[in-house]
Amino acid sequence: MIKATEGASFTARTWAANSTAARAAGLKVIPYHFMTNADPAAQAAHFQAVASLAAGAAYALDWEPNDVGGHDITAQAGQVEAMGTTLAAALGRNPLGYWGITGSTPGTPTATMSAWDRWVPRYRDGAIPSFTGAHTSPFNPPGGNFLFWQYTAGGVVGGVGGAADRSVAQFNNEADLMAWCG
């Protein structure tokens, strides 16, 4: 997952370099958009254009509290749903939702959002001893289901400069993960 955009006009300065280098290193890239209270249709159009989202490709929406210079620009659940349903109609797949842990979620997801695949936003204390088999997050979100669990901020990923967040994927095998990515 690589941040592409935020709001209706911000593009992450690292998006182009990191997504290009990650793809060149043979990695699947899942672009994500950080939600604000800007118009959901404008956010969707900006994200789709910057990330070059194609039909069937995986993408994520990050919904967290958002304060810029003392001004709350946090999206409401209805805005997240509106952007997600706009993108789903255009791309033929629902977004991966990044929310759900107390303290990192600004509200209650809508019923529509609750049906989307999830990426759990909570770092783990300590290392994971083995990456074989199933994993459970010590911070399971309400509803409990997730496909990815962001567990550390200190990873190194070939093709991406600097420290990177790392996530555990809940798939039976690499082929299932690649199929999900689209």
Place of tokens 């793809």: 23
The pLDDT tens digits for 139-149 are 555 555 678 87
Query: Three-class SS string for the chain?
Result: CEEEEECCCEECCCHHHHHHHHHHCCCCCCEEEECCCCCHHHHHHHHHHHHCCCCCCCCEEECCCCEECCEECCCCHHHHHHHHHHHHHHHCCCCEEECCCCCCCCCCCCHHHHCCCEEEECCCCCCCCCCCCCCCCCCCCCCCCCCEEEEEEEECCCCCCCCEEEEEECCCCHHHHHHHHC
The pLDDT tens digits for 4-46 are 999 999 999 999 998 998 899 888 899 999 999 999 999 999 9
Fold of 2-181: TIM Barrel (3.20.20)
The pLDDT tens digits for 70-99 are 999 999 999 999 999 999 999 999 999 988
| CA count, 13 A, side-chain hemisphere, 85 | 12
Q: Say what the alpha-carbon torsion angle 149, 48, 180, 104 is, to the nearest 10 degrees.
A: 20
Token duo for residue 145: 């289901």
Q: Are 120 and 88 in contact (CB under 8 A)?
A: no
Q: What are the extents of the domains in the chain?
A: 2-181
**C-alpha separations of 168 from 48, 53, 58, 109, 152 in Å:** 26, 24, 16, 23, 10
The pLDDT tens digits for 139-177 are 555 555 678 877 776 777 766 667 777 777 778 888 998
